[in-house]
Amino acid sequence: MNLSSLIRILLPLLMICNSHYIASFVYATTPNGLLPNGNFEEGPKPSNIKKTVIIGKYSLPKWEINGLVEYISGGPQPGGFYFNVPRDVHAIRLGNEASISQELELNKDSFYSITFSTTRTCAQDEVIRVAASGSSVDLPVQTLYNSDGGDTYAWAFKATSEIVKITLKNPGVEEDPSCGPLLDAVAIKEIFLPRYTQGNLVKNGDFETGPYVFEKYSGGVLLPPHPHDLVSPLPGWIIESLKPVKYIDSKHNFVPSGSFAIELVGGRESAIAQIIYTKPNKSYLLTFKVGDAKNGCHGSMVVEAFAAKKTVKVHFNSQGKGGFIMGSLKFQAESDRTRLTFWSAFYHTRVNDFSFMCGPVLDDVKVVSI
């Protein structure tokens, strides 16, 4: 057999093997949890990295990269920087207009939430753009809510096809091209729309349905404002303010009831609301729990609740050690829809860490007719 005949035989086989490799690399059925290599601990080959810059579109295992993407190890960096990587050892830094993406096999028409850890690395305004299924959002990461740089955010979308491309991008252009946000971990969770529980007009009032929470990290998940988003990582609720609220779990924080609750970390700049169905002129009773997360957040906390034309202020004196009190409000509905709104009256920080933003915990929201 001559060389040309051998090539004609082997070339189709090589193409089949190569296409199978690409398909297995690109498409993965992902359960709730980290995306394939979602913590970036599987790094590029030494031949595919120059200092910290990744060379090659597919050199970061399980990911496709575009633009200046750096592979970072936590600790001191050249130029006097210090990057804290709270989850494991490695992270990704996105340069000007750089992105990473991954295609996943998901359930069409189902709802998903992307949870990712990110922080800024320079003093400029930095933004992360998250995109999937034709939807996207730009999340500012200039404000640090955790002093160790371990802020975690969540964003939700509806899968419009069985193969969905998840993209995280730095859409900004900084004067210093080495600036750009860090990505530390990326996870996904399928979100199921909540149903009403018997006797309660509030959906997901116990906050048990929400985004993926990293098991080994106690910082909670920030839920950015999304008054116009069709899908929420906290189903049933609207985060309609300037600042996010935080989704916390009972494994790492004090939660008044169940496994999850909401911490109002931005004072009056972080508010949460829900529109419920009511009957005009009928009376209702709103009840809820207010406490602290046992995370060192201290001071006189006040949660204000609004329903129809009624309002109530619930005071809780926090020592940062956990605990809660009950709040209640009677109101008369004026229409067939009534908006419930909660916010924190004051700003709070930890006793020994003024850069750690925190606030009162809200849980177990119920509305019953009376």
For residue 140, give the amino acid letter: P
Predicted local confidence at residue 123, as pLDDT: 62
Angstrom distance (rounded) from CA 169 to CA 132: 12
Residue-level pLDDT at 289:
97
In-domain check, residue 9? no
User: According to the model, what pLDDT value does residue 6 have?
Assistant: 46
4 in any annotated domain: no
Q: How many domains does the chain have?
A: 2
pLDDT at residue 142 in the model: 73
Whole-structure pTM value: 0.87
Q: Are residues 182 and 287 in the same domain?
A: no
Instruction: Mark the ranges of the chain whose per-residue pLDDT is less than 70.
Output: 1-31, 74-88, 123-124, 147-149, 175, 177-178, 218, 227-229
Residue 262 and residue 204 in one domain: yes
* Residue range(s) defining the domain that contains residue 262: 193-370
Phi, psi of 208 (to 5 degrees): -75, -15
CA dist., res. 303 & res. 245, Å (int): 13
If asked whether residues 138 and 253 sit together in one domain, one would say no
164 lies in the same domain as 239 = no
Residue 2 lies in a domain: no
Facing residues of 135 across strands?
132
Are both 214 and 316 inside the same structural domain? yes
* Rounded-to-integer distance, Cα 256 and Cα 253, Å: 10
* 126 and 223 share one domain: no
Task: Examine the domain organization and report whether 36 and 83 are in the same domain.
Answer: yes
Question: In this predicted structure, what is the pLDDT of residue 83?
Answer: 64
The CATH number of whichever domain residue 266 belongs to comes to 2.60.120.260
Q: Give the model's pLDDT for residue 19.
A: 37
Answer yes or no: do 137 and 202 share one domain.
no
Give the whole-angstrom CA distance, residue 15 versus residue 7: 12
Do both 245 and 284 map to the same domain?
yes
Of 131, 164, 191, the last residue of a domain is 191
- CA separation for the pair 348, 267 (Å, rounded): 8
CB 119 within 8 A of CB 158: no
Query: Residue 74's pLDDT is what?
Result: 66
> Which of 159, 176, 191 is a domain's end point?
191
pLDDT of residue 229: 60
Same domain assignment for residues 167 and 228? no
pLDDT at 126: 79
- Both 71 and 218 in one domain: the answer is no
Domain presence at residue 208: yes
Domain boundary pick from 191, 206, 227:
191
